[in-house]
Amino acid sequence: MNSVADVQRYLTGLQQRITDALEGIESEQGSVKFLADAWTKPEGERLQGEGLTKIMEGGAVFERAGCGFSHVRGPQLPPSATQHRPELAGMPFEAMGVSLVFHPRNPYVPTVHMNVRMIAATPAGGAPVAWFGGGMDLTPYYGFDEDVAHFHQSCKDALAPFGEDKYPRFKRWCDEYFCLKHRSEQRGVGGVFFDDFSELGQARSFEMMQAVGNTLLDAYLPIVRRRQATPYGERERNFQLYRRGRYVEFNLVWDRGTHFGLQSGGRTESILLSMPPLASWAYQQRPEPGTPEDALYTRYLVPRDWV
């Protein structure tokens, strides 16, 4: 098995590479940088550990971008982490991961989410059991087939070395997971998602997690550069804020990562870095048929094969 130090070294390096790339984009428009907020959860609290939350707000391209690393330890796995592994319920555990959400300013640039993580639990009298999870998904406000196809192709290419079944399986899992079940509505156009994964063995499963993390920039930044200068007005901005409300709903009601962090006593400010700076709600709002806003619902918020 790869050591905890190996996983931590990879994750902290990934966080640095990603935030450096976003600062490079912002530097073309101004000088907004990530705020680095190191934190610890001391002994005596329900959860102990440390992490580094990096947040950028008020940029010309990214209205809010959060990318956090955390490494925590606790006496008992919370329910959100053991629904597929009931035999480990209540066992001591440690978890580490990188989680990010980037909310762009321009409504024609989609929001992106990525998370890669490892959880290890120690059953009574047994050796530690580790498993991996992660994935990435895209949430456009105005859809473009070429953007969605590029994102999905990047995910498929990243997973290809690990078996032909992985992309279609994880793509389907993503569609099923990132669904607002209380509205019977997809959050976005999906991507890939996997959890409780160790079937390739510890070393190879870790390699697969790395492949997903490493492809985020290639999957997302070409879309950002293609759309970031697209002109928009009040109509597009209002629709973006309305759809961001759906993002908030999913993260608070359905997201297992959010539930895990809050249930285990994690650091609330870092757990909620995924929230957009502004969002809105309206009663039963639905776009006029034939409009670009309506196309989001009829073409893009419908699970389909994009590659």
Q: What residue ranges of the chain have pLDDT lower than 50?
A: 1
pLDDT of residue 276: 92
Q: Give catalytic status of residue 113 as yes or no.
A: yes
Q: Which of 71, 103, 113, 152 is catalytic?
A: 113
pLDDT of residue 225: 97
What torsion, rounded to 10 degrees, do the Cα atoms 89, 90, 96, 99 define?
Answer: 60
Q: Could you identify the residue written with the tokens 């982490």?
A: 81
Which stretches within 133-271 are classed as H helix? 145-159, 166-177, 202-214, 216-227, 234-253, 256-263, 268-271
pLDDT of residue 196: 86
pLDDT of residue 222: 98
pLDDT of residue 32: 84
Q: Are the beta carbons of 143 and 188 closer than 8 angstroms?
A: no
- Sequence spans of domains, the chain: 4-300
Which of 235, 241, 271, 234 is CA-nearest to residue 256? 271
pLDDT of residue 168: 97
Could you give the strand order of the β-sheet that contains 48-57, starting from the edge strand earlier in sequence? 35-41, 48-57, 62-74, 93-104, 111-121, 129-139, 190-197
Superfamily (CATH H level) for 4-300: Coproporphyrinogen III oxidase, aerobic (3.40.1500.10)
pLDDT of residue 86: 66
pLDDT of residue 79: 65
Q: Is residue 186 classed as helix, strand or coil in its secondary structure?
A: strand
pLDDT of residue 230: 97
